[in-house]
Structure 1
Amino acid sequence: MALPLQVQAEIVGREPAGAYHRLVLRAPGIAARVEPGHFVAVAIGGVDSAMLLRRAFSIHRADPAAETIEVVFAEAGRGTRELARLRVGDSVNVVAPLGTPFPLPAEPVSAVMVAGGYGSAPMFALAERIVADGGSVAFVLGAATAQRLYGVDQAQAITEDVVVTTDDGSEGVRGFVTGPLPEVLTAVEADVVYACGPMGMLRAVTEVASAHDARVFTAVEESMACGVGVCMTCVLPVVGDDGVSRFVRSCVDGPCFDGTKVRWDDAGTIPADIEGAAAMGAH
């Protein structure tokens, strides 16, 4: 596990990316520690801000030579609106790399990357690593509309096997990523699936991948108030290697999990058979 650093990062690049924003941050010492699937926690508004909680974003790219990391985000609330107003030359306080990254295969594999919206951000560096290690990749990228897709051009630069879906049919196949996914898994004889996106999508992708005997690793999009495992707001029920279900912290134990171990139906609840459920109920 890479030890995180807290640094004042200078914004050295920013640009619109469809419905999203892309920021390039010079963060000395951090980029060399980043693996695909890590995230960064960004302080919003400065030391006098009433926004006390950091915002967590998947790291899109890391360039150790330039000492930069990149994030892609959507304006979804007060914090991200504030972040979108920053300009080149401004600075933000960041902590990274955080979380548990995607597990990398020990040998060449056929992998399928599945993502919804800007959930694709960490997938391209992962795909490049797999290809560099002798494996092959395919992408299934989906979004509600064409404008909300992210990284189709980046995927196409890595492989010809790219399938796009949109809910409204404005680009690619009409429908969800799970529509063409079975055909893609069969066509490329997939060994493993990596997925990032909304919880419902991750559950559905896990079911499809499991039915095709492919391993599946999911990066969950849980709200992370602290990002370092203290506040316990991002817990998920996950089955351990010993078969016992426990609440685990998405920010520390995840955000990347074996999809078959996550109890998707029980997210947001306290299952009766979870370890410690009786004690939780007593409070």
Structure 2
Amino acid sequence: MLTVRQVAAYHAMTLVAPAVAERFRPGQFLAVAVGGEHTSLLARRCFPVYEVKSDYGGTVEFVFEAGDPGAEWLASRRSRDSLDVLGPLGRPFPLPRDPASCLLVGGAHGSSGLFSLADALRRRDCQVHFVLGAPRAHEVFGARSAQRIGESATVVTRDGSLGVTGTIPDVLPRVIEETSADVVYAAGPTALLGSVASVSAALGIPCQVSVGEWLADTAACGIGTCLSCVLPLIGDDGHTRMVRACTEGPVLRGERVRWSDLGTIPLDALGGPRAPQAPLEAAP
């Protein structure tokens, strides 16, 4: 480990991890063991990667909120401590083949995973626009960086303490029109992702979402074995299947996720529970 620093309401941790830095692609995540040797926290914590640098031996930085015992343990680490980290894991963001206008939408610290994507898009001569939001100003992550590197950056807070008053879905249709967006990329709270996917679908804009919060909230293993992060996804054939956010995701097509059925196994999902059958009447 290299450093832990406070960034507004969050913590940013930088690790020396050359093997991870070499293989990382935007949208992938880290699975970090928390609690130390004498812990009851058996599950790892999964975090999107904020930034990767090839200097200093290959560093990887991720952002987290110290809101649970595992994250609080991470925040208490010091520069000479070691961490057990798996990564990079998961399916990355697909990148446009040709230059395109790309709108990156992030909520709270979930937006941290969009900045490595922005760098990759700019290297492909894509235009990069941001919409970042949170309930309050100190919960918005990366507003200054977005204003510096993006062609445009719209910041939204529910209480009006920074940028526009309201929520991201309130401003999204206008920003999509103003930026002539060809594709929307989104990361952040699960409820936000569903709204972004709905708005994008209504406007006929492709939408890629990173379901990182769903993955983090399930305290998943990160490698597809515990099956705690499954969610219903509509396949190319129109059938719903239960997929693992950590392996088939975390990046998914927004319009394919059955947002209203998260946390359930729909009756029509392949391999899912069968609908109860009416009892047969006894023969006379």
Deviation at 1:14, TM superposition (A): 1.8
Distance 1:256 1:280, change over 3 A: farther
How many residues are treated as equivalent by the alignment? 272
Say which SS state the counterpart of residue 130 (structure 1) adopts.
helix
The whole-number CA distance in structure 1 between the counterparts of 2:12 and 2:31 is 15
Name 2:173's counterpart in structure 1. 182
CA contact (8 A) 1:19 1:147 kept: yes
Q: TM-score scaled by structure 1?
A: 0.93
- State how 1:200-239 maps to structure 2 within 5 Å: 200-220=191-211, 221-222=213-214, 223-239=218-234
- State how 1:40-119 maps to structure 2 within 5 Å: 40-66=30-56, 67-119=58-110
Name 2:22's counterpart in structure 1. 32
The whole-number CA distance in structure 1 between the counterparts of 2:29 and 2:4 is 18
Name 2:282's counterpart in structure 1. none
The whole-number CA distance in structure 2 between the counterparts of 1:92 and 1:216 is 34
Unaligned runs of 5+ in 2: 278-284
Distance 1:246 1:89, change over 3 A: same
| Mapped pair 1:145 → 2:141 | no
CA contact (8 A) 1:117 1:197 kept: yes
Which amino acid in the other structure matches residue 158 of structure 2?
Answer: D
Name 2:280's counterpart in structure 1. none
The whole-number CA distance in structure 2 between the counterparts of 1:64 and 1:244 is 42
The whole-number CA distance in structure 2 between the counterparts of 1:218 and 1:138 is 16
CA contact (8 A) 1:32 1:63 kept: no
Deviation at 1:154, TM superposition (A): 1.1
Provide, for residues 239-271 of structure 1, a one-character-per-residue CA deviation record: whole Å limited to 9, x for no partner: 011111000000000011000100001111121
The whole-number CA distance in structure 2 between the counterparts of 1:259 and 1:145 is 26
CA RMSD of aligned residues (A): 1.5
Deviation at 1:281, TM superposition (A): 8.3
Deviation at 1:279, TM superposition (A): 6.1
The whole-number CA distance in structure 2 between the counterparts of 1:154 and 1:213 is 29
Give the % identical residues: 42
CA contact (8 A) 1:40 1:57 kept: yes
Aligned with residue 245 of structure 2, among 238, 243, 250: 250
Deviation at 1:50, TM superposition (A): 1.8
Provide, for residues 191-210 of structure 1, a one-character-per-residue CA deviation record: whole Å limited to 9, x for no partner: 00000111111111011111
Residue range with higher mean Cα deviation, 220-229 or 189-198: 220-229
Higher helix share: 2
Distance 1:70 1:281, change over 3 A: farther
Name 2:263's counterpart in structure 1. 268
CA contact (8 A) 2:108 2:188 kept: yes
Which amino acid in the other structure matches residue 6 of structure 2?
Answer: P
Unaligned runs of 5+ in 1: 1-10
CA contact (8 A) 2:3 2:79 kept: yes
Q: TM-score scaled by structure 2?
A: 0.92
